[in-house]
Chains A and B, each alone.
Chain A
Amino acid sequence: MAVILAMGCRERSRGALNIPGYRPAGIYSAGTAQRLVNIEGYLPGRRVVILGSGDIGLIMARRMTLEGAQVQAVAELMPYSGGLKRNIVQCLDDYGIPLKLSHTVVDIKGKERVEGIMLARVDEKSRPIPGTEEFYECDTLLLSVGLIPENELSGQMGVILNPVTSGPVVNESLETNLEGVFACGNVLHVHDLVDFVSEEAKAAGKNAAYYVKRSKYEAEGEEKKASRQTTIWIHPEYGVRYTVPSVLHMQRMAEEQVIRFRVGNEYKNSVIRVELDGNLVQGRKRPVMAPGEMEQVKLKKKELSAVLEKAGRTEAAHHLVIRVEEN
């Protein structure tokens, strides 16, 4: 039997943000607002402030504007937006909506319904700077402040989670530390585009099916366990925050393996360097990388074997490093 974890993410809520004040109506997560507008056909408010400038926040700014709401501002805690340039231009600039970088909500006014919110500039440590407060009159606050993989269940099962992604640590087959338990999609790591989720889901399904078949063969003694496993541990280093997967078993790996990751900063004209036991596997030029866009490298099994052979490495365990090299 195999299990595939595909519980997705939940949106970070107001509680996770520690915004002081009453709990008036008119505070929605961006996803809830999206559902209300696009599926149920209701406009959740008339005058709106949006907290968070990832793609979801930006797209909701445009959506609410087109539906007749007045979006006063999009506030972003970080000094840069997590969203695509295209979305900043076409969702904010097109409608003259200000993007307040390095800003956060410090107060929400209103008892029954939101009446306005106070934004303030923050310092490098994300602490609000006194005296920089600005009041925005509004009836609605949309929160688009991050997604949290839904992994309570995984944790209870004994699945080891990566503290960076809050998702399971998986191998080349998207299998967790528990044999026969696989993971894919937003529960594994947060995706920007559903297209990659679908790809991952397909891979997890295929691997799980293969696992079920293989364990049957193994039980019947038709397939002996590979006599020797070659294991490659993947280490994210400079600029790379995490990788999915985290470990490759050479014998089980497909001819081509996709490694997905995110960078921790904006990098221009840099190189993604992949080294196996200190030997260069590939160096790929990237004109621009940003934390908001998932990156990937494709590893060929043949190339990895060739590198190991050339270096005369025959150990069972190897180390693959992925890092950003700045010019």
Chain B
Amino acid sequence: MEKRKLICICCPMGCRLQVSTEEGKVVSVTGNTCPRGAAYAEKEVMNPTRIVTTTVRIVGGSEPVVSVKTAQGIPKEKIFACVRELESVEIEASVTIGDVIFPNIAGTGVDVLATKNVQKCTKNVHK
């Protein structure tokens, strides 16, 4: 049996959870004050996901980069793969909030979306 310690993030109480797993399955959660804690622990141990926010380079825009985020949470272990894949991406201005900047990032099936508007700019072009 394996044990892991987590802090529940579902509310500001921040309960300290102990999760026991056996053969890849959660067998017990203790330390939670309410059921949300148990559900969080189960998800965090079995399939932790995170929404990733970063920036992507813009060509010919009024600003050099645009802020972006993953449309949904992606598996936690794919965070760095996601950011590295976006490092070499360059997007032609203009960009509108909600535009798909990169589909299926790091093979997760999740798209990366723009979270800011960037206009086309003819002078003062950032490269």
Which A residues contact B (CB, under 8 angstroms)? 37-41, 66-67, 84-86, 88-90, 93-94, 268, 287-290, 293
- What are 18 residue pairs bridging A and B, where the CB atoms are less than 8 Å apart in the complex? A39-B63, A39-B65, A41-B57, A41-B65, A67-B83, A85-B8, A85-B9, A86-B9, A88-B7, A90-B9, A90-B50, A94-B50, A94-B76, A268-B13, A288-B11, A288-B12, A290-B12, A293-B12
Q: Does B107 contact A (CB under 8 A)?
A: no
A40-B65, A288-B12 known; A85-B54 Cβ under 8 A: no
> For residue B64, which residues in chain A have a CB less than 8 angstroms away from its CB?
40-41
- Across the interface, do A38 and B65 meet the contact criterion of CB distance under 8 Å? yes
Q: Which of B35-73 contact A (CB under 8 A)?
A: 50, 52, 54-55, 57, 63-65, 67
A38-B67, A66-B54 known; A287-B13 Cβ under 8 A: yes
A37-B55, A66-B83, A89-B7 known; A84-B12 Cβ under 8 A: yes
| Binary A-proximity of B60-104 (CB < 8 A = 1, otherwise 0) | 000111010000000010011001000000000000000000000
Partner among A38, A85, A289 whose Cβ is within 8 Å of the Cβ of B7? A85
B83's nearest neighbour on chain A, judged by CB, is A66
Q: How many A-B residue pairs have CB under 8 A?
A: 47
Q: In whole angstroms, what is the CA distance A40 to B56 when docked?
A: 11
Q: In whole angstroms, what is the CA distance A273 to B80 when docked?
A: 47
> For residue B55, which residues in chain A have a CB less than 8 angstroms away from its CB?
37-38, 41
A40-B65, A67-B54 known; A85-B76 Cβ under 8 A: no
Q: In whole angstroms, what is the CA distance A66 to B83 when docked?
A: 7
The distance from the CB of A270 to the nearest CB of chain B, in whole angstroms, is 13
Q: In whole angstroms, what is the CA distance A85 to B8 when docked?
A: 8
The distance from the CB of A36 to the nearest CB of chain B, in whole angstroms, is 11
> For residue A38, which residues in chain B have a CB less than 8 angstroms away from its CB?
55, 65, 67
Q: In whole angstroms, what is the CA distance A37 to B56 when docked?
A: 11
The distance from the CB of B90 to the nearest CB of chain A, in whole angstroms, is 11
The distance from the CB of A183 to the nearest CB of chain B, in whole angstroms, is 28
Q: In whole angstroms, what is the CA distance A41 to B67 when docked?
A: 10
Interface centre among B13, B14, B79 (most CB of A within 10 A): B14
Q: In whole angstroms, what is the CA distance A37 to B83 when docked?
A: 14
B15's nearest neighbour on chain A, judged by CB, is A85
A88's nearest neighbour on chain B, judged by CB, is B7
The distance from the CB of B48 to the nearest CB of chain A, in whole angstroms, is 9
Q: In whole angstroms, what is the CA distance A92 to B11 when docked?
A: 18
> For residue A85, which residues in chain B have a CB less than 8 angstroms away from its CB?
7-9, 12, 14
